[in-house]
């Protein structure tokens, strides 16, 4: 069985939506380290997407060290590890900057953004 939630929307690649749904499920502890992750064929069948698309999502998640493969058996959720400097910089510089620029252009106040982050930090996973 699939143990994470997802609701597809157009305009975003399917495999990216799967990756994000899994990330969010892990971060919200809906999926915990050591939990079994459904097989490629299982994901493909339950989400009704192509096996290759499911495989693409899984391989990305492995490369990002969110999943570990047990050959011949299946895959499990990894522990959340520390970030590399490059990863930290990408978030704390590039991604934050994008959010700031978009907020400013829409005349959204800094306090509103910070509030939204405080609110979002204690996440309850409603949809994916």
Site for a copy of itself, rule CB under 8 A:
20, 23-24, 26-27, 66, 80-83, 87-88, 91-93, 95-108, 110, 112-114, 116-118, 120-121, 123
| Smallest separation, CB 59 to a copy of itself (Å) | 17
Angle, alpha carbons 119-66-128 (nearest 5°): 45
Quick count: other Cβ atoms within 10 Å of Cβ 67?
21
Q: Residue 61 has which token pair?
A: 């998640």
Mark residues 46-85: x for contact with DNA by CB under 7 A, - for none: ---xxxxx-xx-xx--x------x-xxxxx----------
Binning the chain into helix, strand and coil, the percentages to the nearest 5 are: 50, 10, 40
The contact set with DNA (CB under 7 A) reads 13-16, 37, 39-42, 49-53, 55-56, 58-59, 62, 69, 71-75
């Amino acid at each position: 069985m699939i143990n994470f939630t997802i609701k597809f929307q157009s305009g975003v690649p399917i495999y990216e939506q799967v990756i994000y749904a899994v990330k969010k499920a892990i971060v919200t502890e809906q999926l915990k380290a050591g939990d079994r992750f459904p097989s490629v064929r299982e994901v493909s069948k339950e989400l009704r997407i192509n096996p290759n698309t499911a495989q693409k999502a899984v391989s990305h998640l492995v490369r990002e060290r969110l999943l570990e493969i047990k050959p011949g058996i299946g895959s499990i959720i990894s522990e959340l590890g520390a970030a590399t400097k490059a990863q930290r910089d990408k978030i704390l510089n590039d991604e934050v900057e994008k959010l700031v620029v978009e907020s400013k252009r829409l005349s959204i106040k800094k306090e509103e953004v910070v509030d939204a982050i405080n609110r979002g930090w204690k996440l309850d996973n409603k949809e994916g």
